[in-house]
Amino acid sequence: MIISHVLELDERINYQMCGKLYVVATPIGNLADFSYRAIETLKTVDLIAAEDTRHVKMLLQHYAINNKLISLHQHNEEQAAPGLIDKIKSGLNIALVSDAGTPLLSDPGMPFVKLAKQEGIDVSPIPGACALIAALSVSGLPVTRFNFEGFLPRTSSARKTFFSERTNGTATWVFYESSHRILASLEDLQAILSGHRRIVVARELTKLFETVVSDTLDNVLELVRNDKNMQKGEFVVLVEGAEIEKNTSEITEDQKSVLSILLKECSIKTAVAMAVEITGARKKILYQAALDMKGD
């Protein structure tokens, strides 16, 4: 019993000694978008782990933040994370920042945060700017459901495959692109999707030359192709989801096939319910089709 109480006391002491990891969002362009809480956090932590210390140093100097910086990027994070975890366990508080925006969203930091969670370390978000959310908020496209795809593959064939796999998705989908590939990516997108599909290209968000263009794919591509300024900067591209085709009078052959297979194993009620979930067809139409099949 005494040993048990001692162990519990040791655990409480160790927990109290353990530091904390803060995941801090930084501005994506306009420095005024840095929150007061984020500034205070970076001033009070013991260490700041940054994607690019040279880039982040300029931000810190602007806000008179003098804390020690260490580098944590995609090439060293697997090796560096355990050492940082040991520092937190020893009582240090560490802040994780990326070059711009919210860490982990197409930025380094996942191995560090994942390991911290596994070790029972308290990980606290300090929210702020995020290019993804900023672009969604001004896009005019449906945002109740959306898919974030990060950065695209580098080759044309891989991008076309990527686009083909998402052609029929009904949610808005979003990806990041660089100035070096924005034109080629939009050309690949046009090769796969209908030129009438609506897209939004958000460029240099919160910066001096912020531009948000919303139009059909054909029109946006023509603008980017003919305006060299539209090929500069950092881009968020949003693609409107495919329309759900609704046919109130009949079902497709594929839908009939699914229903036919289900009817071999299930009652009409169950088969119809499952077919609605699988195909998206109207229940009333599927039920009548099931009755007709059973009648035959």
* Residue 248 domain flag: no
∠257-258-264 over CA atoms, to 5°? 90
73, 103, 129 — which closes off a domain?
Answer: 129
Identity (one letter) of the amino acid at 21? L
Domain interval for residue 161: 132-239
| Same domain, residue pair 199 and 224 | yes
Q: Please tell me the distance from the alpha carbon of residue 96 to that of residue 24, in angstroms, as a whole number.
A: 6
Domain boundary among 88, 114, 129: 129
H runs (alpha helix) in 179-247: 182-192, 217-226
Say yes or no: 84 and 39 in one domain: yes
Reported pTM: 0.77
Residue whose pair of structure tokens reads 């686009």 in the numeric block: 163
Q: Which pair of tokens denotes residue 282?
A: 């109207």
Element (H, E) at 149: strand 146-151
| pLDDT score for 278 | 83
Hey, what are 151's tokens? 């950065």
Rg of the chain over all Cα atoms, to the nearest angstrom: 26
Co-location of 192 and 221 in the same domain:
yes
Do 148 and 212 share a domain, yes or no?
yes
pLDDT confidence of residue 14: 53
pLDDT at 11: 47
3-class DSSP assignment, residue 25? coil
Nearest CA to 223 out of 204, 203, 207, 242 is that of 203
286 and 218 both lie in a single domain: no
Residues 192 and 233 in one domain: yes
Nearest to 122 by CA among 205, 31, 17: 17
Q: Are residues 274 and 217 in the same domain?
A: no
User: Average pLDDT for consecutive 10-residue bins of the chain (296 residues)?
Assistant: 47 67 97 97 97 94 95 94 97 97 94 97 98 97 95 96 91 97 98 95 97 98 97 97 67 84 89 85 86 79
CB 9 within 8 A of CB 111: no
State the Cα–Cα distance between residues 19 and 89, nearest whole angstrom: 6
26 secondary structure, DSSP code: B
Tell whether 246 is covered by a domain.
Answer: no
91 φ/ψ sector (left φ>0, alpha ψ -120 to 50, else beta): left
Structure token digits, residue 237? 């591209």
- Answer yes or no: do 83 and 153 share one domain: no
Q: Are 276 and 283 in contact (CB under 8 A)?
A: yes
Report the chain's terminal Cα–Cα distance, integer Å.
76
Same domain? For 273 and 163 the reply is: no
Instruction: Output the six-digit token pair for 161.
Output: 């495959």
Give dist(CA 236, CA 98) in Å, integer: 17
Total domains in the chain come to: 3
